[in-house]
Amino acid sequence: MKFEKVAVVGAGEMGHGIAEVFALAGLPVSLIDVKQDILDRAKSRIADSLKHMASRGRIKPEQVDQVLSRISTYTSIEEGARGVDLAIEAVPERIDVKSQVLKALEAVLSPDAVIGTNTSSILISELSQFLSRKDRFLGTHFFNPPVVMKLVEVVKGPETSDATVDAVMELMKSIGKVPVRVKDSVGFIVNRIEGPELLYFCLLVDRGLAKPSEVDAFFRSQGLPMGPYELMDYVGLDVVQELLKYYAAKLSKDYGKCRTIGDLVSKGYLGMKAGRGFYEWEGGKAKIDL
Ligand code: 3HC
């Protein structure tokens, strides 16, 4: 299995970063989303990220334009995914949305192509029911920001072939990532571990026992780059909410007990991307007053 051209469907928080990762590794990338203005914003975020890396000497200045020129944007899967060897979907964490994208990808890709999903927690077995070529479908779960975070969970579904998993593990290593082979279970490894913590942090605030800034101060003092509330804002409260809903359905009703995140999401306070979540955000930084 050779991966010479990649498509990423969904140009949001994760998708734009995943496209950047592959383009930095020298691969041509089709970045696909429903509207051109989303794609333009994604390319401008990638350009900012590349310029920052060049300013820090992590890439050469001439690489900024070279990397950007490897990323083509499309508003149709049919056009953008044709001829690619690997397509990764990074669309919202909703099974109805993901199923549409997966079916559209399978319809246009060659039978040899591999499809990856960047789902944070939905079972691969649940998503694979929308595909016929289940042996070439797997989880490719990146972490935010993909260009900085090395870890990638490579999730083998019940019908994913070993050859597909092996090839994707090798690909991830070749682009500088640290892939871990993961079983198909709710939340995989990282988000399964984090699930109870997310619920607990939400309940702390629900019950007025602590303020996000007070809890985050403790975690920062332990040497972590972000506290849990800042991280939830960074990842997106809509993403966290979907994860908790899925866990409530699959693991325990307790995950449905948290109110604060739902309240914030219903007001449009989705975290960093909306300029407000637990905190207010400006220029990619949370304003944290103790
Ligand atoms: N492009 C390029 N470089 C970037 C970048 C980007 N998008 N984002 C951050 N960086 C670089 C910064 O430029 C900086 O490099 P420099 O020192 O050479 O300038 C370095 O990363 C550190 O960034 P900052 O100085 O801006 O700020 P921080 O030190 O706070 O780092 C962070 C930012 C890397 C996001 C750090 O806060 C962090 O690691 N936070 C935790 C992230 C995390 O845990 N992610 C996983 C979330 S869970 C998830 O994604 C799963 C999902 O399924 C829900």
- In the chain, what are the domains? 6-183 (3.40.50.720), 192-287 (1.10.1040.10)
Of all protein residues, the one whose alpha carbon is nearest to atom 33 of ligand 1 is: 225
pLDDT recorded at residue 138? 98
Average pLDDT over residues 66-73: 98
pLDDT recorded at residue 203? 96
Average pLDDT over residues 190-198: 95
pLDDT recorded at residue 20? 98
Average pLDDT over residues 165-174: 98
Model confidence band, residue 194 (pLDDT cutoffs 50, 70, 90): very high
pLDDT recorded at residue 289? 85
**Residue given tokens 């399964």 in the structure block:** 192
pLDDT recorded at residue 216? 97
Whether this model's pTM surpasses 0.90: yes
pLDDT recorded at residue 290? 74
- Between vectors from CA 145 to CA 2 and to CA 288, what angle results, nearest 5°? 175
CA dihedral 105, 107, 109, 115 (to 10 degrees): 40
Give yes or no for residue 36 having a pLDDT over 90. yes
Model confidence band, residue 150 (pLDDT cutoffs 50, 70, 90): very high
pLDDT recorded at residue 285? 95
The residues facing 152 across adjacent strands are 142, 179
Cα–Cα distance measured from residue 71 to residue 26, given in angstroms and rounded to the nearest whole number: 10
Give the N- to C-terminal CA distance of the chain in Å, as an integer: 53
**Ligand 1 center to residue 148 CA distance, Å?**
6
pLDDT recorded at residue 201? 96
Percent residues over pLDDT 70 in the chain = 100
Give yes or no for residue 29 having a pLDDT over 90. yes
Of all protein residues, the one whose alpha carbon is nearest to atom 11 of ligand 1 is: 148
Model confidence band, residue 231 (pLDDT cutoffs 50, 70, 90): very high
pLDDT recorded at residue 1? 85
Give yes or no for residue 109 having a pLDDT over 90. yes
Q: Which of 20, 89, 106, 153 is catalytic?
A: 153
Average pLDDT over residues 28-39: 98
Whether 141 is catalytic is yes
Give yes or no for residue 184 having a pLDDT over 80. yes
Average pLDDT, the chain: 97
pLDDT recorded at residue 227? 96
The region that residue 283 occupies, defined by phi over 0 for left and psi between -120 and 50 for alpha, beta otherwise, is: left
253 Cβ closer than 6 Å to some ligand 1 atom: no
Helices (H), the chain: 13-24, 36-55, 61-69, 77-80, 95-108, 124-128, 162-174, 190-206, 212-221, 228-235, 237-250, 260-266
Instruction: Flag whether the ipTM exceeds 0.90.
Output: yes
285 Cβ closer than 6 Å to some ligand 1 atom: no
pLDDT recorded at residue 107? 98
